[in-house]
Every structure is written in structure tokens, then in C-alpha cells.
A and B are shown apart, each in its own frame.
Chain A
Amino acid sequence: MSRVFTIEKYSREFLIDLLKKMILIRRFEEKAGQMYGLQKIGGFCHLYIGQEAVAVGSIAALDLSEDYVLTTYRDHGHALACGMDPKVLMAELYGKITGCSKGKGGSMHLFDVENHMYGGHGIVGSHIPLATGVALKLKYKGEAGVVACYFGDGAIHQGSFHESLNMAKIWDLPIVYICENNQYGMGTNYERISSVRDFYKMGRSYGIPGKQVDGMNVLEVYEEMLQAVRIARESGLSSFLEIKTYRYRGHSMSDPAKYRTREELDEYRQQDPILLFKDALIEYGIISEDDYKAMDNECKVISNNAAEFAEMSEEPGLETLYEDVLA
């Protein structure tokens, strides 16, 4: 697949910021995977490696002072793209009191109420109505914001998805539904379990326009999201983006991903969203290879520091057990 990066339309600062955020997610996730291997992180840990352009490109089109993000349990990338502190995130993965959810949420439940990162949700498709409800609040209060609701190809067959799109349409809610089609719902390729191959068409059943987007091209993601956000902001209408992407790692850390071939994985690695964008930026003279290496090193240091912070942080005390059950 040949890709066009519309580099010339953007400022150097903006482009570098996109690249840096993607690298940070990659290095953060590698660190998380490594620490999981060392049993510093337990339970389910779903890495975002390969999908970085989706969160980074789309969240760059939001203004989080008025817009909102809700996503799935594969949420580290979105949290970082929303500007959450890598230290606080890693501490949450470690289950420490310094984590964003005080060690009670873990990898799947990252939240930042101030920055409108509304989770981090563990049940497939269950947060789609929540996101729709946040959009109802925006409409009811006459606020300018837009909701970005992320979910995977596995969630698209849940009733909650279909129920939500229907309500978003009848009430004209300012929300962008984003299906990150990484092609596998856990270990099952979507083509084996879906009567529809092109998910973007599913929005049309509810009168919601849909578009298929190349999730390996961060600028394409940004541009399509920008347009969807504009429609929501200016006309108060919903839209649906199917962003085609690929995860390099298993569904979670415990998944060896034997359901796909080495060739398939290698083919996608050739379309790595970070390397493609880096090459384009070098080609356009925005950065040099050395600049890239410096950025990469910086992100490795941030990730290492995050792990160190998490390591040094305290466990939550047993006295916190009954805290925050009720308001």
C-alpha cells in the first residue's frame, strides 16, 4: 500500500509532536511488556504496539478542555496521547498508590477526570453507551465539546454498539465512534465472525456516515478525525470511523498469538506507523536520522524513569480498601 503523507500542510512543531507521542507510546509499551515479564505488572495487560497512529492522530484533533475520550482496556496509548503522565500510568500498572487510580484500576482502568480521559473500560463494548451518555450531557448543557469513543473490531457485534449508534442518531449527539480494527478480537480474525467485512458501512444502518481510514498513516487519521470532529462540533452530528490497524503483540501479555503467521506479522512491520512517518519526515527535511534517534532515546529515558518511579512508589495501604466504594 502506498501512502501519502501531507507533510507540507503542517508546522514542524506539530509533526514532531505527533512522531514523539507515537515513539513514547511504543517505548512505554515495550517497557510495560518487559516489566510484565519481570512480574512487576500482573493480570491482564493489553499493549498498543502497532496501533500508535490511531490514538495519536485522532486525539491530536481534539481539544481536551472541552472534548472527551473513552476507550477500552487497551488504553495505555490513549492515556499517553491525552497527555497523562507516564509515571502515573506506569505506577497504576504496578498497582501503586501513586497511580492515576490509586492502584485500584490497573492497566485496564486508566482515568484522568481533569483531562477528560474517561477510561479505561474492561468489558467489551460496555463503555460505548457511557460515551454516548457523555455526548448527551454535552448536548443537554449546550456545550461545545465532542466525544471520541474508541473500541475494537471485537466490540462491534455487541448490542451496546448498535443501541448507542441508534440513540446518537435519533438525538443528534456530538460523538465520533472509532472502531480500531486491528483485525483480531482476541484470537479470532474478524472475517471469521463478522457478516460485514467493511465495518465503516455499519454506521449507515443508523444513518451515521462512516469512513475507512488507514491507521498506519498518522496524518490521515488526524485529517479524517478532524473532519468528524468538525461535523460533531458544528452540526452536533455523529460519525463513525473504521481505522484499519494492526497489533504486533498478542491480545494480552498471556497470548502468544499463534493464530497468525510470522509472514503476516512481518508484512505489517513493514508498514510500521512510526517508521513510515519518520521516513516521510526525513524525506521532507523536517528531521534528520539523528533527531529521530535523540527523540527515541528521550522516550526510552521517560519510560525507564516511569518504571523507576513506579518501582519506588508505595503500595496502597490496607486502610484504602474501603475508600471510594461510595461517594
Chain B
Amino acid sequence: MPIITYRDALREAMDEEMARDENVILLGEEVAEYNGAYKVSQGLWDKYGSGRVIDTPITEEGFTGVGIGAAMAGLRPIVEWMTVNFSIMALDQVINNAAKMRYMSGGQFNVPIVFRGPNGPAEYLAAQHSQALQTLFVHIPGLKVVAPATPYDAKGLLKSAIRDDNPVIFLEGELMYQWKGEVPDGEYLIPIGKADIKREGEDVTIVTYSKPLRVVEEAAAELAKRGIEAEIVDLRSLRPLDEETIYRSVKKTNRCVVVDESWPMVSVASHVGWMVSRNCFDDLDAPVELVTSEDVPMPYNHRLELAVQPSVEKVIKAVQKVMYLV
């Protein structure tokens, strides 16, 4: 099977969907002539032209709203946010317009649109450019939110997101664009709302998604050396959430750690932790542990910024805690 980068997987998905449906357009800052700030859209402007791959001014609220309006009228736009940090400028459009149009019109309007871009901490970018903002979107009814961690999942989920009749927030990662993985030739889709078991194990369930998957995989390998077999549940979709897969795993292992690179308060991690505590209460041998980013803005200094985020050591420690080894 061909091995390609996460970046190329995203581009393949957009390319294939644009070739398949002329209603799919791409707009955002630097997506066309510059080939994308992170080169995700490389070559698409050459192939599809300025009418379909559209460079916008730096007006996140404006072009996000333009995409939503075009979606209301029948197009299927992909709006690229250069980074999700900048989507804060466009939150009114996402929350008040995209998420609510169908409901407040009594079902008259669909908003088939994808908002995509890199989310989460990167390196040396400091507080405003290095934050995991998924909670803002996951909170909102009327949105779907996905955060794939592998090239395979990224391609299959982006194609599903583009074909979905609802607004989908598609969260990538600046540091993930170079990640490589197997992606088959030809068409496949991954349904939104399905988690994936990335590693099977009997002793503890580690629920995670997006970039921390690698940290969790490394921790699981280390734990295996110590005789602990972790099962890794990669959520892939944050809204809707695949509760069934989480519970099935926890009921098997009786222990659960949730690893999430956003802040701890009112997060995906805290929500999953609550749900597992409530719905697997009789199966749990220990309280659910969370590993999140520290509750501070991201510092610039590299030593400090690494200390903020989930790490292999933190994950191992949390696993040891739910196994009463520390």
C-alpha cells in the first residue's frame, strides 16, 4: 500500500471530491496561488482555476460567512482556516449561522460546508498560535467535529465531511502534516461518528484523538515492555461521539485514561471521563484519569511548552494510577 503524508492525504481527498462534484470549491487565505500556507492545497489552483480555488483577503469572519451563504445556496465549500486560532474571528459565523440555519429555518436549509485547518499546539508559536480549540466547536449542536490522526483516517474522513450535508469542523495539526502512513489507492470513505481501535489490549483503555495519538502509541509500547497491554481508542470524530466503542473497550479493560491536548476544564476529555464514569460505573476498577494540557496559555520557551502538553511520561503515570501501581 502506498505510504503518503497526512498533508498529501488531505489533498487527495479534496482533489478527488472536486473532480467528482463541481459544487465543491475551496476558499481561504493563500489557498490558491501560494498553494496553501501549509501546502495542503498544492496544485489544486493549477488544476481547478481561480473560480474554484479562491484566495480570500484576511477576513476570517467575512470569507467564512461567504462560504456558509454559498452552502445555503447549494455549493459545497471547503473553507480553509490558515490555522484554527484564526477561526476565533469567525466564530459568530460558525456558531450563529452555520450551526443554526437548518434548525431555525424549520429544516428549510442545509449547510453542507467543511471548515478545515490546523488545530492544537505546534512548536515555538506562543499563546495565540498554539492552542487546541476543539471544545468551542464540540459544544455546539448543529455542528459535526472530526479530528483524524493518521493519513488514512484524514483522507477517508475529509471525503465524508465534504459529502456531508451538515457543517463539519475538520481539525488537522501543523505537526501532523508530515506524518506518514498507508493510504490505499482508490476510493474509500470513513464514516463520521465512528471511533477506531488503534491498538488492542486487555489491561487499560486509553481514549485519545488527533496529535496525542502518537504519544499514546509510544506510551503503550513502553507499557507493553512492562507487561501492561493498553487498548487505544482513537475517537476520530468528536461530535457525534462513538460512545459504544468507548464503553465496549472500557467494559473489557475496566480501566480508562483519556488523553486530550486541549485544556482540562469542560473539554472532550472531561466529557468522555464523565460519560465513562456514569455508563461504565459497575465495570470500572478505578476512577477515570485525564491527561490534558496544563491549564495555562502556551508559553514560547520550548522546555515550558513541552511541559504544558500530554507526554509519554504523563500517560504512563496516569495508566499506573488507574492500575494502582503508583
Chain A residues in the interface with B (C-beta under 8 A): 68, 70, 99-105, 109, 111-113, 118-123, 126-138, 140-141, 159-160, 163-164, 166-167, 170-171, 323-327
Asked if B162 is an interface residue, CB under 8 A from chain A, the answer is no
- Chain A residues with Cβ under 8 A from B65's Cβ? 126-130, 132-133, 160, 164
Q: With A and B bound together, what is the CA distance between A136 and B71 in angstroms? A: 10
Residue in A104, A113, A132, A141 whose CB lies within 8 Å of B109: A113
> Known contacts A68-B73, A133-B68, A159-B61; is A325 also within 8 Å of B106 by CB?
no
Instruction: Write 15 A-B pairs (CB below 8 A) sorted by A numbering.
Output: A70-B69, A103-B106, A113-B108, A119-B105, A130-B72, A132-B65, A133-B65, A133-B71, A136-B70, A137-B69, A140-B75, A159-B59, A164-B65, A170-B57, A327-B110
Interface of A is mostly: mixed
Residues of B within 8 A of A129 (CB): 61-66, 68-69, 93
**Chain B residue with minimal CB distance to A140?**
B51
Contact A133 B106 (CB under 8 A): no
In the complex, which residues of chain A have a beta carbon less than 8 angstroms from the beta carbon of B144?
Answer: 326
Is A327 touching B72 in the complex (CB atoms < 8 A)?
no
* Contact in complex: A167, B142 (CB < 8 Å): no
Interface residues, chain B, CB within 8 Å of chain A?
25, 51-52, 54, 56-57, 59, 61-75, 77, 92-93, 96-97, 101-110, 112, 141-142, 144, 164-166
Q: Is the CB of A126 within 8 A of B96?
A: yes
CA distance A132 to B73 in the complex (A): 11
Q: Which residues of B contact A104 (CB under 8 A)?
A: 103-106
Partner of A327, one of B63, B77, B166: B166
Least Cβ distance of A113 to chain B in Å? 4
Q: Are B102 and A325 in contact (CB under 8 A)?
A: yes
B67's closest neighbor in chain A, by CB? Answer: A133
Contact (Cβ within 8 A) B107 A323: yes
Asked whether, in the complex, the Cβ of A166 is within 8 Å of the Cβ of B57, the reply is yes
CB-nearest residue of chain A to B66: A133
Query: Which chain A residues border B51 with CB–CB below 8 Å?
Result: 140
What residue of chain B has the Cβ atom nearest to residue A165's Cβ?
B62
* CB atoms of A167 and B57 under 8 A apart: yes
Contacts of A105 in B (CB 8 A): 104-106
Instruction: Decide: B105 and A326 in contact? CB cutoff 8 A.
Output: no
CA distance A126 to B100 in the complex (A): 13
Select from chain B the residue with minimum beta-carbon distance to A97: B106
Complex: how many Å from CA A109 to CA B62?
21
A119 to B104, CA, bound (A): 10
> B66–A102 contact, CB under 8 A?
no
CB <8 Å contact, A133 and B72: yes
List of A residues within 8 angstroms of B165 by Cβ: 327
User: Do A122 and B96 touch (CB < 8 A)?
Assistant: yes
Contacts A137-B73, A140-B51 given; does A101 touch B93 at CB 8 Å = no
Asked if B105 and A136 sit within 8 Å, CB to CB, the answer is no
Given contacts A111-B105, A326-B144, A327-B102, 20 further A-B contacts (CB under 8 A): A68-B73, A101-B106, A101-B108, A104-B105, A105-B105, A111-B109, A112-B108, A118-B69, A132-B62, A133-B70, A138-B73, A140-B25, A141-B74, A159-B61, A163-B62, A164-B65, A166-B57, A167-B63, A324-B103, A324-B107
Q: A175 to nearest B CB, angstroms?
A: 10
> Which of B69, B75, B102, B107 contacts A132, CB < 8 Å?
B69
In whole angstroms, how far apart are the Cα atoms of A105 and B56 in the complex? 32
Cβ–Cβ < 8 Å partners of A112 in chain B: 108
- Per the bound structure, the CA–CA distance linking A138 and B54 in Å amounts to 15
Q: How far is the CA of A267 from the CA of B139 in the complex (A)?
A: 50
Chain A residues with CB under 8 Å of B61's CB are 129, 159-160, 163
Q: Considering the complex of A and B, which 4 residue pairs feature the smallest CB-CB distances, nearest first?
A: A133-B69, A129-B65, A163-B62, A102-B106
Instruction: Please name the residue on chain B nearest to A113 by beta carbon.
Output: B108
Measured between alpha carbons, how far is A26 from B102 in the docked complex, in Å?
A: 30
Closest Cβ of chain A to B138, distance in Å, is: 14
Contact assessment for B72 and A134 in the assembled complex, using a CB-CB cutoff below 8 Å: yes
Nearest-CB distance from A289 to chain B (Å)? 42
Knowing A126-B65, A128-B65, say if A166 contacts B59 (CB, 8 Å).
Answer: yes
Closest chain A CB from B70 CB (angstroms): 4
CA–CA, A267 and B235, complex, Å: 65
Instruction: Give the residue name and chain of the B residue nearest to A133 (CB).
Output: B69
In Å, the complex CA distance between A68 and B64 comes to 20
CA distance A304 to B26 in the complex (A): 49
- Could you tell me if A159 and B62 are in contact, using CB atoms closer than 8 angstroms? yes
Given known contacts A68-B73, A325-B102, A327-B166, A111 and B67 CB-to-CB distance under 8 angstroms: no
